[in-house]
């Protein structure tokens, strides 16, 4: 216990929140999955980068000590009331104040079938 | 022979065991795939982390020398008789007493189609 | 701001641009997703490697400061007018003049259903 | 040119060659995708690890200088005439005599739909 594994900055170049959901068990969504193995709570800040406009800051979340938080990017709201735009290529920088490990996962149900993508962030 | 490649601790932030299986060739499952290239058996301990409750310890497995073990998380039972809960976001820490390499793979058959996710753990 | 995270060279061994698209929301495509967190624009050069012919150079793109660019490999044209060939295994080296992070993503709609692959490049 | 990027040893814990193919554009297969950016040919040796039997050595392939080789594991034959067994969990160690980069990709068409998995090896 007490030893937090991971690092403070994590980068995710390929973010995409589809405009379309086909019914079924799941809806299209992305998750920034944080694992905090240490004994101090992690304050998480997420910055969104775009192809043709300035970055958006101010998306924050908490991952308590010895907990995981699967942050749903389709549900998160910034401090100024913004949501992740749909149908637009974007990227993310995830910054924590204590070491954590970050995985990015996407589920797309734009077509009848679904498809997964999962990877440890850089 | 004899030289074990890898490391002792592996983190997997995005674990999820779906509540639903649709028939077909496969059932929904996750696997913690361990490769032990060394000449000593690896004792594996897995801790589960959750969003809103304390970690669960006591899931263990063996990966013999020069063997692989694709640990099925839908089948593993902890020393106190617990199973991985379904439909709940969780995370994993995998600890070995000799160097190993760990990959996480998930197959989801919640909808009619199936989908894969696969990644080397951190 | 100003601190560019990442590195200059990124390798992607498994490139493949399918010959077939089935209709639907998406067409089969690959994307080289670049994230530039620094304050200098990144000039990106992509070299294609094949199984049985010489590498092709001369695919270039720009990823501006504090921007992402999801470079669509089905749309990019080299300085000598070449496109990525379809139905042929290939690989990529991505070189930037400032540090960036690169993710490779593929969407295949060759069959009626679609499937994703996503990974941080090496 | 001439500078080979990568390393000599690559590990892939989760190998699986399904027993079933449903027709369609693709057949179920795994590929060990090698990228050799250097100016010397790479001699590749693959060892298979299993859950309950000794490793199998003697699968070899060539990846020429400045070439890629997407080694199809459903087609490769060892020097003693063995093939990768179907329906059995296994793992792989890929060893090269010059630095290369290795990605593992799997396409599964066991059910009507297909699914991808792709990752840089460890």
pLDDT tens digits, one per residue of D15-38: 998 887 665 666 778 899 999 999
pLDDT tens digits, one per residue of D3-17: 799 999 999 999 998
Residues in B closer than 8 angstroms to A24, CB to CB, are: 110-111
Which residues of chain B approach chain C closer than 8 Å at the C-beta? 113, 115-116, 119
Model ipTM value? 0.91
> Which residues are CB-neighbours of C55 under 8 A, at least 6 positions away?
C47, C48, C49, D66
Question: A23 to each of A108, A109, B27, B111, D18, how far by Cα in Å?
Answer: 11, 8, 21, 10, 29
pLDDT tens digits, one per residue of B90-117: 999 999 999 999 999 887 666 545 677 7
Q: What is the DSSP letter of D84?
A: P
Question: C72 to each of C35, C75, C109, D37, how far by Cα in Å?
Answer: 14, 6, 15, 23
Distance CA C84, CA B82 (A): 51
Distance CA B95, CA D13 (A): 16
Residues facing D30 on adjacent strands: D106
- In chain A, % of residues over pLDDT 70: 87
pLDDT at B29: 83
pLDDT tens digits, one per residue of C34-93: 999 999 999 999 999 999 999 999 999 999 999 999 999 999 999 999 999 999 999 999
Size of the B and D interface in Cβ pairs below 8 Å:
88
Contact A20, A90 (CB under 8 A): no
Q: A118-122, C113-117, D8-12, D118-122 — which one is most confidently predicted on average? A: D8-12
Distance CA C63, CA C72 (A): 13
Closest CA of chain A from C83, distance in Å: 22
How many DSSP H helices and E strands does chain B contain?
0, 7
pLDDT at A63: 98
Q: Does the beta-carbon distance from B50 to A68 stay under 8 Å?
A: yes
b/e per residue C41-64 (b: at least 16 CB within 10 A): ebebebbbbbeeeebbeebebebe
Site of tokens 């910054």: A95
Contact D104, D31 (CB under 8 A): yes
Tell me phi and psi for residue A84, to 5 degrees: -70, 125
- In chain B, % of residues over pLDDT 90: 70
Dump strand ranges (E) for chain D. Answer: 7-15, 29-36, 42-50, 56-63, 67-72, 90-108, 115-120
Residues in B closer than 8 angstroms to A21, CB to CB, are: none
Size of the A and B interface in Cβ pairs below 8 Å:
88
What length does chain D have?
Answer: 122
- pLDDT-derived band of residue D94, with 50, 70 and 90 as boundaries? very high
pLDDT at A120: 85
- CB atoms near residue B72 (< 10 Å): 16
Residues in C closer than 8 angstroms to A102, CB to CB, are: none
Quote the tokens at residue B84. 């991985």
Site of tokens 């200098």: C40
Distance CA B118, CA C2 (A): 34
Residue A52 zone, left/alpha/beta (φ > 0; ψ -120 to 50; rest): alpha
Run of H or E including A60: strand A56-63
Task: Enumerate the H helices of A10-82 as residue ranges.
Answer: none
Tell me phi and psi for residue C65, to 5 degrees: -60, 135
Q: Does the global pTM surpass 0.90?
A: yes
From the list D113, D116, D119, the residue facing A113 with the nearest CB is: D113
- Tell me what the mean pLDDT of segment A42-70 comes to: 98
pLDDT for C2 beyond 60: no
Nearest Cα to B96, choosing from B47, B42, B59, B52? B42
Contact C11, C92 (CB under 8 A): yes
pLDDT for D80 beyond 80: yes
């Amino acid at each position: 216990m007490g030893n937090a594994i991971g690092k403070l900055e994590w980068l995710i170049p390929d973010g995409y929140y589809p405009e379309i959901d086909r019914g079924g068990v799941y809806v299209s969504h992305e998750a920034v999955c944080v694992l905090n193995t240490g004994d101090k709570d992690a304050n998480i800040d997420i910055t969104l980068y775009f192809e043709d406009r300035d970055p958006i800051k101010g998306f924050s979340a908490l991952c308590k000590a010895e907990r995981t938080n699967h942050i749903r990017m389709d549900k998160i709201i910034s401090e100024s009331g913004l949501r992740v735009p749909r149908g637009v290529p974007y990227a993310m920088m995830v910054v924590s104040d204590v070491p954590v490990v970050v995985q990015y996962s996407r589920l797309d149900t734009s077509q009848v079938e679904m498809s997964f993508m999962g990877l440890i962030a850089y």
